[in-house]
Amino acid sequence: MQPGIAAATPGYARALRSFLAYLRVECGLAPATLEAYTRDLDDLVGDLLARGVATVGEVAPAHLVEHVRFLSRDRKLDPTTIVRHVSTIRVFFRYLHANREIPENPARLLERPTKWRKLPNVISPAQMKRLVESPGPDQGELWIRDRAILELMYASGLRASEVGSVRLNQWFPTIQSLSVIGKGSKQRIVPVGGCAAQAIQRWIDEQRPGLVDGDESRADHRLFVSNRGKPLERVAVWMLVKKYAAVAGLHGIHPHVLRHSFATDLLRGGCDLRTVQEFLGHASVVTTQVYTHVDKSRLRDVARKFHPRFG
């Protein structure tokens, strides 16, 4: 769908502005979350316009049902993405109805599709070792930074956005820990393993000063910066991971694979689920439970050891 179509359509623009202002000011949602809402509503409005529904007041329950079918049948979106779309639609129309901008809520009977939980993609410790050790002098001038980033992502389970946003004063070398601001502006303290701590400190001591060149305002005091001394964007972290995955001969690797592998290896080593939840910054342990799939072999070994009739 055309980006910005909702904001540019007279029959929907006012409602969209009001809704996004509510999310930004009253709900305090992060820019990335607001962008996701905007994209979902652009998709919705584009589809509604194609069906001849010119204003938000004309939207009927049948239109929304057809839109969800369109997302699944024609666009073949992932079930998780469809669940997010439906959530956006429900919140949008509930807000408009509560503020008397529409007489009825057409999304009141719109049911969320069952969310199929996709098992996380993980790699073995041996493959991870190849990945985090792939940055070297032959991989460009910033290999010290890149090694520190990969070591940190695997050592602490950070998201790509968290890697880019962490600031220099959030790194505590004495206790080898980071203060991280995650989703929903929630703060957590994560310990950093020895290999990652050494890599970070080497980056800080040997390479970061030359890139920042004393201009911390330009760097926004970020721990990791670009080759121009500016904050490192999330997309740069994605590209970095993809680059070194190719160097290591690995396929289908993205930043979240390091996070998944971090959690998986903790559980495989005997860490309890609640602690892993704290490490990852999950609001609910239900989200963390997806990682328990990795212990199928371990469960068999335990059963064989303790159950008298388990052959």
Determine what percent of the chain falls in helix, strand and coil, rounding each to the nearest 5: 65, 5, 30
Domains of the chain, earliest start first: 5-98 (1.10.150), 125-301 (1.10.443.10)
Classified as helix, coil or strand, 105 is coil
303 has pLDDT over 80: no
Mean pLDDT on 293-299: 54
Name the pTM for this structure. 0.65
280 has pLDDT over 90: no
pLDDT of residue 233: 87
At 232-244, the pLDDT tens digits run 988 899 999 999 9
Count Cβ atoms within 10 A of the Cβ of residue 145 and give its class: 0-12 exposed, 13-18 middle, 19 or more buried: buried
263 has pLDDT over 90: no
Q: CA distances (Å), 165 to each of 33, 223, 236, 304, in order?
A: 16, 8, 12, 46
177 has pLDDT over 80: yes
Q: Do residues 157 and 280 lie in contact, with contact meaning Cβ atoms separated by under 8 Å?
A: yes
pLDDT of residue 181: 85
pLDDT confidence bin for 246, thresholds 50/70/90: very high
pLDDT of residue 110: 84
pLDDT of residue 294: 53
Q: Could you tell me which residue, 32 or 229, shows the higher pLDDT?
A: 229
Between CA 47 and CA 12 the distance in angstroms is 13
Long-range contacts of 54-60 (CB under 8 A, 24+ apart): 54/11, 55/11, 55/12, 56/11, 56/12, 56/15, 56/96, 56/101, 56/102, 57/11, 57/102, 57/103, 58/11, 59/93, 59/102, 59/106, 60/106
At 118-137, the pLDDT tens digits run 556 788 889 999 999 999 99
Q: Do residues 253 and 261 lie in contact, with contact meaning Cβ atoms separated by under 8 Å?
A: no
- Compute φ and ψ for 178, nearest 5 degrees: -120, 145
Nearest to 196 by CA among 137, 250, 145, 155: 155
pLDDT of residue 215: 93
At 85-116, the pLDDT tens digits run 999 999 999 999 999 999 999 998 887 665 55
Q: Do residues 181 and 254 lie in contact, with contact meaning Cβ atoms separated by under 8 Å?
A: no
At 126-171, the pLDDT tens digits run 999 999 999 999 998 999 999 999 999 998 888 888 999 999 999 9
Beta bridge partner(s), residue 177: 172, 191
> Which positions are catalytic?
159, 183, 256, 259, 282, 291
At 5-60, the pLDDT tens digits run 777 788 899 999 999 999 988 887 878 888 889 999 999 999 999 999 999 999 99
Share of the chain above pLDDT 70, in %: 87
Mean pLDDT, the chain, whole residue set = 86
| H or E element at residue 171 | strand 171-172
pLDDT confidence bin for 281, thresholds 50/70/90: confident
- Give me 42's structure tokens: 């652009």
